[in-house]
Chains A and B, each alone.
Chain A
């Protein structure tokens, strides 16, 4: 059974801190790893990492895929209150278009 595990489940930091969110996976036929940010409604796409693109960066957010360790991290530097959200990791693999999501990490950034 495909599995995606995120840690920590929950995190509270102060504005300006740097945070690292973790995602590990066990899937057959790995194709890609995806990070999403979910605020009050639906998840919004952040990054996709594949074998040919193991590091992505956008502003204060960056992500690295470690295919050897079957894991990924999402870094957020200089956090802001607007970064408060649930961050979801998902892995595409296994059967046709099958994507398995982790439970998510709930990040709260306090002023």
Chain B
């Protein structure tokens, strides 16, 4: 069965900290995505990657960066966490249709 694994379910970080959110998929998919989900705003695309070392900005990339050194792993980095980055973060991958999502990481920045 297809699997997307996010390393943490819940995280609490302090303002200004550097935060790493890890996502690993075991399906050999080329395309991976990071979304954040907020009440009343739905799912918004932060960054996506269509190949190793390739990345594209989504709709809300400000304050974030990403890393894709290996096909199976796509990391989201908050260079200096801020309280407005408190959110649910969802990683997804796709072979071209029908995303598979990870379980999500609920990040709280205090």
Contacts and interface: CB of A to CB of B under 8 A. Distances in A.
Interface residues on B, range: 20 to 34
Given A101-B43, A104-B42, A96 B98 contact: no
Contacts of B103: 41-42
B64 interface: no
Contacts of B96: 97
Interface of B: prevailing SS: strand
Given A96-B50, A103-B40, A34 B99 contact: yes
B31 A97 contact: yes
Contact of B45 (A42, A44, A88, A98): A98
Interface residues on A, range: 20 to 34
B94 to A, nearest CB: 7
A48 interface: yes
Contact of B94 (A97, A101, A103, A104): A97
A92 B86 CA distance: 27
A68 to B, nearest CB: 22
B56 A99 contact: no
Contacts of B42: 88, 101-104
Contacts of B45: 98-100
Interface of A: 32, 34, 36, 41-45, 48, 88, 90, 92, 95-104
27 contacts: A36-B99, A41-B103, A42-B4, A42-B102, A42-B103, A42-B104, A43-B90, A43-B99, A44-B101, A48-B97, A90-B99, A92-B97, A95-B56, A96-B50, A96-B56, A97-B31, A97-B33, A97-B48, A97-B50, A97-B96, A98-B45, A99-B33, A99-B45, A100-B45, A101-B44, A103-B42, A104-B42
Interface of B: 4, 31, 33, 35, 40-45, 48, 50, 56, 90, 94, 96-104
